[in-house]
Amino acid sequence: MKMRITLLKFSSESIHISRKYLLAVIILYLGYLNSNAQDVYENYREAWLKKSMEYLPELQVKTKVPLQMVRLIDDKESYQCVKAVKISEPPEFYQSGLKSNPDDLVLDFGEHLTGHVQFTIQSNVPAHAPVQLKIKFAEVPAEMKASFESYEGSLSKAWLQEEIVTLHTMPDTVLLPNRYAFRFIKFEILASAGDMDFFVSNVKCFSTTSAGADLFNETTLKDSEFQNILEISIKTLEECMQTVFEDGPKRDRRIWVGDLKLQALANYYSFGNFDLVKRGLYLYAATAAENGLVYGTLFEKPQPHPQKHFPIDYSLLYNTVLTDYYEASKEIGTLEDLWIVAKYQVLNILPNISEKGIFTPSPEWWYFIDWNNKLEKTAALHGIIIYSLTKTLELARLLKKEQELPQLQETIEKMRKAAREKYYDAEKMLFVSGPARQVSAASQVWMILSGTVSPEEGRNLFENLKKEKQVVWPVSPYLYHYVAEAMISCGMYEDAGNLIKDYWGGMAKKGADTFWEVYDPDNDFLSPYNSYMMNSYCHAWSCTPVYFLRKYNKELFP
Amino acid sequence: MKMRITLLKFSSESIHISRKYLLAVIILYLGYLNSNAQDVYENYREAWLKKSMEYLPELQVKTKVPLQMVRLIDDKESYQCVKAVKISEPPEFYQSGLKSNPDDLVLDFGEHLTGHVQFTIQSNVPAHAPVQLKIKFAEVPAEMKASFESYEGSLSKAWLQEEIVTLHTMPDTVLLPNRYAFRFIKFEILASAGDMDFFVSNVKCFSTTSAGADLFNETTLKDSEFQNILEISIKTLEECMQTVFEDGPKRDRRIWVGDLKLQALANYYSFGNFDLVKRGLYLYAATAAENGLVYGTLFEKPQPHPQKHFPIDYSLLYNTVLTDYYEASKEIGTLEDLWIVAKYQVLNILPNISEKGIFTPSPEWWYFIDWNNKLEKTAALHGIIIYSLTKTLELARLLKKEQELPQLQETIEKMRKAAREKYYDAEKMLFVSGPARQVSAASQVWMILSGTVSPEEGRNLFENLKKEKQVVWPVSPYLYHYVAEAMISCGMYEDAGNLIKDYWGGMAKKGADTFWEVYDPDNDFLSPYNSYMMNSYCHAWSCTPVYFLRKYNKELFP
């Protein structure tokens, strides 16, 4: 009330001062909102957590058995130079002792599985001493052939899946203590009495998923390569759908915003499991930071809690998961519940956008974009911010909440303008990034998806990329998804189809049962963790071919 | 009927033939009995097994916590050259991270424990990667300091107690999958994320025993050394009393006749748990061989079954467990139930005793006597057979069944006579064994216990042993038990007391919490398995000081 009276006292000469004053008030107001996100969220966190638990799915369990015993042989023509060759079938492979058989007992389930594992073990003579067994799991043949002992990568070696168990009684039926993601399993004796041999039998995987049935499975693509890619992408998604959308059932076994977005899209064109999307959205809201930002990733156990760091591109993409969800479900209640979270994602970054529309990330944030270490990310990040703000504006309009973020439209326009001014290289006719003016696919893609350029300009960008000698290309299926999405948004359906066939189809040709976390057609051993053993070979962000092939079916296959 | 008529036809001239004929009939009859042991036993096995289950004890569980954190240091003055030095107390030792603490987390429970182990683990940051932990258990400091990886002994390395577990969630409370026998426990990280540290807390052992209360604990010996030895021997027995009398809770975790005999004796002078003795006796009966012999050892799980070999000294000692049991309990029903088993032990060996009283073991048998590889065992085994036959005769008389083994008295006398003729060296005035006429404590001891010599002669044997230069002495507490028993049977109480103080007291002085499987005062590293790590440091056959000190209390401490 007092403030209003004060304002009324300003004379007409002081309009300039009054504008500055108003700006200060807005900034203070934003600061107030920001600093009070915690207070605002506190009113909702409990309800959000409760909702996330209401959407906790029941896991469907299927019992799977190994189909063949294989020998792993070096083979230059095979993916990662290792080939699994069948040597016997059940029950034959159960009839040799672990010691007396010259081959390791490597069993192949014939498909990627995520679940718990049980086996029976018997000895040739009554057990008079314990046996120490190593049971190793692998998603791909080379991972099985490699020695985990030789691992020198950057992530915890404990991700490499093996168990060491000591058994005193024979026969015994053992349910191993963890969940595993694998196609191959190996049994090995580490220690035992000299006169004892051991016979493994009845190996079973109780495989789990929350995916349910493929609601769209009546459609079979005429092109068998595309159909194969589609099936692998559905299997990839199915394996990653557990009690949340996991990024990888082998590693990291948790929900990440970037993966969630792509899984949700693929899910809308396969299992249509809206509850699991909502579970993820509410979990992020319930575990958001005090400033209101959602963290990039969170853990379900022992109780939902975030990993406390901000990949700011992921935080902003949260808002776009909401709009994608609405587009698929037309259900507005979830958006109404979570609008406050979307709003705080924006409020948190507004102070980092200058008057001229340049986004400067805070030092406590990082940004992912892609695994390619050579990538200069500034321009791509700028594009992602615009993309997310644009989607947030759609959301605000849908909910009739534009007045809560009155500066949004203006900010988007400022940023698009700034993008052209700061990141576009008129000579190369491409967006560039960083002091070295790096040309990358990422920069073009995100400028296209942000609406900074028209579809026609977008097509030109792709054309010009082809002419450029030094282009930083993606190494992850995650960024390749956005390349395909950008192509489609420019009407380049044939290019998008070719990309899917080349990139995801490339994995299929190399024997993928599920799509991989990392795929560089020229380097089977590329790993962000300095070891291909650590890579996840069933990774959520690779699951989107089903989305493209079904959503754009008519355009891709006219 | 026909046979009787035939016999009546013999003339008086044919008495010699008739005698031979009668002998043949007896041998055939024995053979008949022998070959039909299986048929006879079949009538009883089920009832014996049922009785063994009726006597299955309930385990008493106590929760124990570590008392101190220790550092293991090389120290030539300590047992096996390793000393555990206290570095902190609880809760201090729980406050350092496993990674940040320069010391390994080696916790000392201050006593030997047998049981299951649980701990809680927390991380410094929310767990974003699994951790692989090694948890190692040891009964003695040197075992903890040693690298199990370096083990090259003859028994299964899987006896060495360690677990490797992979944990994905923090905090977590973990109940390890096996039962362990230990005083020391070490936690070690094998693999984890670089930025994570881990805090173990709340380490607990749910220790188990079926021993119950020491019924004789009002008596405290004036001599504190003897009192200490007595307490250690009771603790040793208590730890070995589980669902059977185990020989060692670390290794082999099963019942052996030789250990059972000594445990039962110690038990009569401490816990008075007659049910556990009966459980053992019935289990041996139920799992005996088709020929009627009890096997040396048996396993309880998954269902009672023997390890199919015959240490013939152990099979025969079974009978003496029955007489010892009666002496302590005065309960005759068990003896009546199991007389048939005792009888078949004898019937099985009678064919191996020649007319001249020489016992020649069958090639399918072996015999233990002691762990000393240098020991020539023929004379000692001869003594054990006489000892067991003598006890069986006592048993037969008690049950008024002498007529079922009519040849027993005569056989014993023949064998005693043969012992003097074949194994006594008049020049050395000692019993000798084998072609090299080896002098050992074992030979004298078993000739004394068999009643082959008088107490006075027995004392002379011990005197003469002292004068002899090359004597094979025992290396196991098992045989030393019989040395002490032989001394007592000759009235050499002071010598027996000194032996207990020297031998078992020697272990106590070296820091034994429980008495060891193997003890050579001159060689801390002696092992029948080519590795001291594999030795059991809480071993049933070492538990008898309580028996001597309480049974012969008046004689030992006049």
* CB-count exposure of residue A551 (10 Å: 0-12, 13-18, 19+): middle
| Beta-strand pair A310-311/A365-366 | parallel
Task: Please give the Cα distance from B438 to B450 (Å, whole number).
Answer: 19
Residue B245 located in a structural domain: yes
Of the three residues B150, B185, B208, the one that is the final residue of a domain is B208
Residue B47 located in a structural domain: no
Whether residue B157 has pLDDT greater than 80: yes
Contact A123, A193 (CB under 8 A): no
The larger pLDDT score, comparing residue B429 to residue A14, is at B429
Q: Is the ipTM of this complex over 0.95?
A: no
What per-residue confidence (pLDDT) applies to B269? 97
Same domain, A319 and A186: no
Chain B residue at shortest CA distance from A300: B169
B156 vs A129, A169, A302: nearest CB: A129
Same domain, B200 and B289: no
Contact A77, A159 (CB under 8 A): no
Q: Which domain holds residue B396?
A: 241-556
Same domain, A282 and A196: no
Same domain, A262 and A400: yes
Both tokens of A188, joined, read 């090995």
Residues in B whose CB is inside 8 Å of some CB of A read 125-132, 154-160, 163-166, 168-172, 177-178, 190-194, 196, 252-254, 297, 299, 301-302, 305-308
Q: What is the CATH number of the domain that holds B138?
A: 2.60.120.260
The CA–CA distances, whole Å, from A144 to A157, A184, A495 equal: 15, 7, 36
A158 vs B129, B158, B254: nearest CB: B129
Contacts B253 to A, Cβ<8 Å? 168
B193 vs A155, A177, A299: nearest CB: A155
Per DSSP, which regions of B141-281 are E strands?
162-167, 172-175, 180-191, 198-209, 255-256
Q: Say yes or no for a CB contact (<8 Å) between A299 and B178.
A: no
Both tokens of B488, joined, read 């007592």
Contact B431, B444 (CB under 8 A): yes
Of the three residues B208, B230, B254, the one that is the final residue of a domain is B208
Chain A residue at shortest CA distance from B255: A128
Task: Please give the Cα distance from B294 to B320 (Å, whole number).
Answer: 13
How many residues comprise chain B? Answer: 558
What per-residue confidence (pLDDT) applies to A36? 80
Same domain, B75 and B134: yes
Same domain, A163 and A238: no
Q: Say yes or no for a CB contact (<8 Å) between B126 and A307.
A: yes
**Phi and psi torsions of A163, nearest 5°:** -125, 145
Task: Please give the Cα distance from B535 to B515 (Å, whole number).
Answer: 11
Task: Please give the Cα distance from A414 to A552 (Å, whole number).
Answer: 32
A159 vs B129, B254, B305: nearest CB: B129
Give the distance, in angstroms, between the CA of residue B462 and the centroid of all CA atoms in the same chain: 25
B158 vs A129, A158, A254: nearest CB: A129
Residue A52 located in a structural domain: no
Residue B27 located in a structural domain: no
Same domain, A127 and A247: no
Task: List the single best residue of B123, B134, B156 to mutate versus A (max A Cβ within 10 A).
Answer: B156
Q: Say yes or no for a CB contact (<8 Å) between A299 and B127.
A: yes
Same domain, A253 and A112: no
Whether residue B18 has pLDDT greater than 70: no
Residue A227 located in a structural domain: no
Chain A residue at shortest CA distance from B168: A178
Contacts B531 to A, Cβ<8 Å? none
State chain B's mean pLDDT as an integer: 94
Residue B38 located in a structural domain: no
The candidate with the shortest Cα–Cα distance to B105, out of B202, B195, B205, is B202
- Amino acid sitting at position A349: I
What per-residue confidence (pLDDT) applies to B425? 97
- Amino acid sitting at position B196: M
pLDDT digits (tens, 9 = 90+) for B215-260: 997 778 999 999 999 999 999 999 999 999 999 999 999 999 999 9
Residues in A whose CB is inside 8 Å of some CB of B read 126-132, 154-160, 163-166, 168-172, 177-178, 190-194, 196, 252-254, 297, 299, 301-302, 305-308
Contacts B169 to A, Cβ<8 Å? 299, 301-302
Contact A540, A143 (CB under 8 A): no
Distance from CA of B261 to the nearest CA of A (A): 21
pLDDT digits (tens, 9 = 90+) for A260-299: 999 999 999 999 999 999 999 999 999 999 999 999 999 9
What per-residue confidence (pLDDT) applies to A32? 55
What per-residue confidence (pLDDT) applies to A38? 87
The residue behind tokens 């030109």 is A460
Query: What percent of chain B lies above the pLDDT cut of 90?
Result: 92
Q: What is the mean pLDDT of residues B175-203?
A: 97
Q: Say yes or no for a CB contact (<8 Å) between A126 and B299.
A: yes
The larger pLDDT score, comparing residue B32 to residue B170, is at B170
Return the number of other C-beta atoms located less than 10 Å from residue A220's C-beta: 10
Same domain, B180 and B132: yes
Q: Say yes or no for a CB contact (<8 Å) between A301 and B157.
A: no
The residue behind tokens 């097994």 is B49
What per-residue confidence (pLDDT) applies to A444? 98
Per DSSP, which regions of B210-344 are E strands?
255-256, 297-299, 305-307, 310-311
Query: What percent of chain B lies above the pLDDT cut of 70?
Result: 94
- Amino acid sitting at position A542: S
Contacts A169 to B, Cβ<8 Å? 299, 301-302
Per the structure, how many domains does chain A have? 2
What per-residue confidence (pLDDT) applies to B30? 57
Residue B51 located in a structural domain: no
Both tokens of B226, joined, read 């003897």
Q: Return the bridge partners of B85, or none.
A: B71
Same domain, B110 and B245: no
pTM across the whole model? 0.91
H helix or E strand, kind and range, residue B301: none
What per-residue confidence (pLDDT) applies to B11? 41
Residue B4 located in a structural domain: no
Same domain, A406 and A480: yes
What per-residue confidence (pLDDT) applies to B21? 66
Contacts B116 to A, Cβ<8 Å? none
pLDDT digits (tens, 9 = 90+) for B448-484: 999 999 999 999 999 999 999 999 999 999 999 999 9
The larger pLDDT score, comparing residue B496 to residue A30, is at B496
Task: Please give the Cα distance from A384 to A486 (Å, whole number).
Answer: 12
Contacts A297 to B, Cβ<8 Å? 128
Flag residues of chain A having pLDDT under 50: 1-15
Same domain, A242 and A143: no
- Amino acid sitting at position A405: L
Q: What is the CATH number of the domain that holds A444?
A: 1.50.10.10
Q: Say yes or no for a CB contact (<8 Å) between B157 and A191.
A: yes
Chain A residue at shortest CA distance from B162: A166
Contact B344, B331 (CB under 8 A): no
Of the three residues A190, A208, A226, the one that is the final residue of a domain is A208
Q: What is the mean pLDDT of residues B326-343?
A: 98
Distance from CA of A159 to the nearest CA of B (A): 6
What per-residue confidence (pLDDT) applies to B160? 98
Task: Please give the Cα distance from A73 to A509 (Å, whole number).
Answer: 19
A158 vs B125, B131, B301: nearest CB: B131
Assign A540 to helix, strand or coil: helix
Whether residue B189 has pLDDT greater than 70: yes
Burial letters B365-402, b for 16+ CB under 10 A, else e: bebbbbbbeebbbbbbbbbbbbbbbbbbbbbbebbebe
For A67-119, give the DSSP string. Answer: -EEEEEEE-TTSGGGEEEEEEE-TTGGGSS-TTT-SS-EEEEEEEEEEEEEEE
Whether residue B393 has pLDDT greater than 80: yes
